[in-house]
Amino acid sequence: MTDEHIEKTKSAIESAENIPADRKAELLDLLSKLKPAIAKVSETHHEDARSIARLVEASAQETIRAQKKPEQHLLHTPLIRLRRLSELTGCEILGKAEFMNPAGSVKDRAAYGIISDAEQKGWLKPGATIVEGTAGNTGIGLAVIGRARGYRTVIVIPNNQSPEKMHLLRTLGAEVKAVPEKPYKDPENYNHIARRLAEERGWFWANQFDNTANRDAHYRSTGPEIWKQTESKVSSFVAAVGTGGTLAGVSGYLKEQNPKIQIVCADPYGAAMWSWFTNGNLETNDGDSIAEGIGQGRVTKNIEGITVDQAYRIPDQSGLTIVYQLLREEGLFLGLSSGINVAGAVRFAKESGPRQTIVTVLCDSGHKYQSTLFNRDWLASNHLDPDLPLQSILGGVEIVL
In whole angstroms, what is the distance from residue 144 CA to residue 174 CA?
9
Point out the catalytic residue in the list 107, 165, 255, 350: 107
- Compute CA distances 331 → 8, 231, 319, 327, whole Å: 43, 26, 16, 5
CB within 8 Å of 110: residues ≥ 6 apart: 138, 141, 208, 213, 214, 217, 218, 243, 245
Give the closest residue to 249 by CA, choosing from 106, 140, 95. Answer: 106
- Residue 107 annotated to the active site: yes
In whole angstroms, what is the distance from residue 122 CA to residue 9 CA?
34
In whole angstroms, what is the distance from residue 355 CA to residue 99 CA?
27
In whole angstroms, what is the distance from residue 73 CA to residue 264 CA?
28
Beta bridge partners of 328: none
| Contact (CB, 8 A) for 362 and 98 | yes
In whole angstroms, what is the distance from residue 282 CA to residue 385 CA?
30
Q: Give the CB-side neighbour count of residue 21, counting CA atoms within 13 A.
A: 0
* Element (DSSP H or E) covering residue 313: strand 310-314
> Which residues are part of the catalytic machinery?
107
